[in-house]
Amino acid sequence: MFGEKGFHVKIPGARLLARIALALVALAAVAIAVTGCSAVKEASKSDTAKAKVGDCINVIKASESDSKTEPVDCSSEKALYKVTKTFDKKSDCAAGNVGYDETLNNKTLAYLCLTPNFKQGKCYADVGNTGYKLVDCTAAEASFKIIQRIDGQADELACGTDSEKFLTIDDPKTTFCLAKPKA
């Protein structure tokens, strides 16, 4: 067809191809936006919040509102807790586990379930709502000494007669046999 300003040709399906191209561009933009948001969220997490199940955590400063933590090798004396589960929002943890949450602008970035990773022969102080800390056995704040650690079993009867107390964890199954620290 010829018009006053030149000619105009209609190609069957041209609009369909344009719509498909626009849809693909829109999908790519959404994918980039979602990936970008996830990357920003991941980048804003601390190293502790990025921990995976089986990783261990050192508590440098325990506080309900401003804790300082770091991932450490699980064989380290500083490895106070082991990660048993990870979530993107607050969740329930198994009995004997404690929750660790990291928030930014009132949004949970990470929620970890942590189980004690006490070492046999070491002493710890129970610091209430913020958990435990490793202390010298002669320290006045020492609450208990681990005289035996039994992995793979959550049974207080496994502790010997020299145990005064016990702590059993179901996930992962662990029994800690406790005694008073000796000054």
Nearest by Cα to 181 from 123, 110, 102: 123
Structure tokens at 174: 């662990």
Rg, Å, the chain Cα set:
28
Structure tokens at 40: 């920003």
- 57, burial (CB in 10 Å: exposed 0-12, middle 13-18, buried 19+): buried
Give the model confidence (pLDDT) of 36-47 as tens digits.
444 444 555 777
| Average pLDDT of every residue of the chain | 78
Is the pLDDT at 138 greater than 90? The verdict is yes
Q: How many angstroms from the chain centroid is the CA of residue 145?
A: 26
- 46, burial (CB in 10 Å: exposed 0-12, middle 13-18, buried 19+): middle
Report pLDDT for 140.
Answer: 94
Give the model confidence (pLDDT) of 17-66 as tens digits.
445 545 554 555 555 544 444 444 455 577 788 989 999 998 877 666 66
Report pLDDT for 129.
Answer: 73
